[in-house]
Structure 1
């Protein structure tokens, strides 16, 4: 079988690597993905975009890329789209228009339940099988026969979970992966550790960052122990301070209590707060609200991200209650995502 893949994000390729373990050896991958996973027509490193202006400059490239992917679709058996709806939805539309009978599978669906619900009819029209990683996502779709809840991929990718609250004397810090996130949070984290003495402070940095970039963006980090392994470091830590994002869900699943803090550009926050109507920012909190439960962790946004607020939250955290909530979350999301998607692709 030939499978055309469009996986443009680093996170998508982590999910693709896990999925590949469950695919038959005779399935050939074509298209856009990490070169570590095969022989892509385009490696994801070629697609890195640093900002809005850069994206505009590269629009002609992406239009050309879409046309080339449509051409590749002619000779494949099925198409697998992963996340990146800005590119993948127009690609799905173009492929379906040219090859109406070509099966298109979407794994890691656009978060249309959070905002831009108008995309849902398009997703249902252009795609044949929808692999949902959120238990409540199906409720937003009208064509129920197309969508299947497969479980959450993080549960398969995290290899070790806590069963009891840890006492390692380590605290993890994850200021994000984007430049502005790091610049905004690191000064606060550096002040915070002065108020939490006699601990080992683990600073988790994306492995892709080189030494010069780290020095420029993070500044003096001599008081921190550096790690590039988020899952292992979170497992070893008693507590974590984390920027918003997937990392908060990883910590919640692993069982490491944490505080979410996020500072966005004022204009971005203003626009986002009006477009997205959700009870919380953190994914674990969103899931708990869907279950009708109390939120699992605190969230501090914008001017509320202060040393005092973060320190107070750290001191009052009920670690045993958090551990029990972590187990509830694992049960809610379900294991087996990659295996289930592989079965859908191969049948």
Structure 2
């Protein structure tokens, strides 16, 4: 008897979600061939076999005003996905991060009698904690990538499974290039330590973060004999970075991000996934972020935690400096980085604390663990 394919709706909305979604899709298909994936993703998920309805570039909006402006468009996207799920007789939907859109979609999908699986659960422990009650109602299987999230959700009566963090296994499997190889590939000066700048993956982020980061980096490079290298996110147009980078004489690379973080002396990194990559790499860094005044004020009122960088949250103290909004300026960047680079004791202590992040996250292969949990959930559902 021929085995029937299983149609899955899967939705990611950001670059990191695209990468993690692709790994999950591959793990699911390897464990049980016959899945057909429909939904929203980026280049990585498309390469993994996604039949894409929209590309993540089409829904990458940042800031309150920008999101509000595009609400009609996002409602249309949501309705198209609901119609797609009906047409393809999809019973299971997988959501990857991107909570503003995904939780709204999940509510509608649930009302259609379908099953919702959330991989990389919303970070509501940082904002909107009472949304855990909503998640309890509409999400049938919750998979988390930070170990402390299990206890957080348990406090609201929600069962969550820790899968391990996807970056740990991804970075462990990566084949790193040596400093000498990087010198040859990128034309680096072997006599200078590397200073990496990662200004983000969205146009609005780069517009607000890159210039003060570059100005601070330029001053640091002169005083501490550093070579600044800008790591360009895959979704970012090089033209957006090249003008400023050329002005300061910085190298821009859209490759070798992990290699550069491993070999660098310091990083100036936009808040988000990249800061955790730096932490796992053991790279001392500054966390920077700046948005519109309106978005910042709304976020400031919503966020319930002291720190936003996972390295700080996991350690329960400030391990890496966070320069947010008005503090995200060239002078503050220079001042905080100088402290790190001028004190061998502080620099060494920072590296030790970053090593603890890696230890706490553990050794699990997140995508395979998540795939096993999802397959078990589907099997149990089909038997009931």
Q: How far apart are residue 63 of structure 1 and its match? A: 1.6
Q: How far apart are residue 286 of structure 1 and its match? A: 0.7
* Separation in 1, partners of 2:354, 2:63: 35
TM-score normalised to structure 1 length: 0.86
* Separation in 2, partners of 1:37, 1:45: 17
Q: Which residue of 1 aligns with 2:318?
A: 295
Alignment CA distance shift 1:23-1:170 (3 Å): same
> Is 1:81 aligned to residue 95 of structure 2?
yes
1:49-96 C-alpha deviation (Å, 9 max, x unpaired): 366555444322222221222223231231101111111111111111
Output the aligned Cα RMSD: 2.7
Runs of 4+ in 1 over 6 A off after TM superposition: none
* Separation in 1, partners of 2:11, 2:200: 25
Alignment CA distance shift 1:200-1:277 (3 Å): same
Q: Which residue of 1 aligns with 2:145?
A: 133
Q: How far apart are residue 267 of structure 1 and its match? A: 4.9
* Separation in 2, partners of 1:271, 1:57: 16
Alignment CA distance shift 1:147-1:171 (3 Å): same
Alignment of 1:322-333 (within 5 A): 322-333=350-361
User: Which segment drifts farther, 261-270 or 31-40?
Assistant: 261-270
2:23 to 9, 18, 26: 18
Given that residues 131 and 148 in structure 1 are in contact (C-alpha distance below 8 angstroms), is that contact kept between their aligned partners in structure 2? yes
> Is 1:189 aligned to residue 194 of structure 2?
no
1:111 partner SS: coil
Q: How far apart are residue 161 of structure 1 and its match? A: 9.6
* Separation in 2, partners of 1:41, 1:300: 37
Q: Which residue of 1 aligns with 2:36?
A: 28
2:230 partner SS: strand
* Separation in 2, partners of 1:220, 1:192: 16
> Is 1:169 aligned to residue 180 of structure 2?
no
* Separation in 2, partners of 1:296, 1:168: 25
Q: How far apart are residue 144 of structure 1 and its match? A: 5.1
Alignment CA distance shift 1:160-1:278 (3 Å): same
Q: How far apart are residue 336 of structure 1 and its match? A: 1.5
Q: Which residue of 2 aligns with 1:342?
A: 371
TM-score normalised to structure 2 length: 0.79
* Separation in 2, partners of 1:196, 1:246: 27
Alignment CA distance shift 1:244-1:66 (3 Å): closer
* Separation in 2, partners of 1:62, 1:261: 28
Given that residues 213 and 333 in structure 2 are in contact (C-alpha distance below 8 angstroms), is that contact kept between their aligned partners in structure 1? no
2:106 partner SS: helix
* Separation in 1, partners of 2:289, 2:74: 31
Q: Which residue of 2 aligns with 1:256?
A: 283
User: Which segment drifts farther, 179-188 or 260-269?
Assistant: 260-269
In the alignment of these two chains, the number of paired residues is 336
* Separation in 1, partners of 2:78, 2:137: 18
